[in-house]
Amino acid sequence: SQTIHQWPATLVQPVGSPLSLECTVEGTSNPNLYWYRQAAGRGLQLLFYSVGIGQISSEVPQNLSASRPQDRQFILSSKKLLLSDSGFYLCAWSRGTGLNTEAFFGQGTRLTVV
């Protein structure tokens, strides 16, 4: 079976500090990978998605970047965090296009920028 791991679960970082969140998927190959952000009381907003190693598409211009160094590894980064970067960050994977578009989520990282 497939599993998705995301860490850390909670993170408190000062403004201006760097960020690195990691996500790995097990039990599947060539997944599509996604980073979503969820603000308090709101739905999920897609930040980045990747259909293969080194292939990153950004949905929203922002202070964040993403990388996919390996097939099942997805990393969310920032060089200098802003207060507005606080939120609940979720990594997800899906099998691909067409009839297999449902996404499966990790347990999330709650980031507080202080």
Partner 1 sequence: QKEVEQDPGPLSVPEGAIVSLNCTYSNSAFQYFMWYRQYSRKGPELLMYTYSSGNKEDGRFTAQVDKSSKYISLFIRDSQPSDSATYLCAMSGFDSWGKLQFGAGTQVVVTP
Residue 25: CB partners within 8 Å, gap ≥ 6? 2, 3, 4, 5, 31, 33, 72, 74, 93
Closest contact distance (angstroms) between CB of 13 and partner 1 is 18
Closest CA relative to residue 67, chosen from 82, 48, 92: 48
According to CB under 8 A, which one of 6, 24, 78, 86 is a site residue for partner 1?
A: 6
CB of 109 vs partner 1, minimal distance in Å: 10
69: DSSP letter: E
- Tell me how far, at minimum, the Cβ of 14 lies from partner 1, in Å: 22
Indicate which single residue of 42, 63, 82, 114 sits in contact with partner 1 (rule: CB under 8 A). 42
Strand partners, 10: 110
Name the residues that contact partner 1, by CB under 8 A.
6, 32, 34, 41-46, 49, 51, 59, 88, 90, 94-108, 110
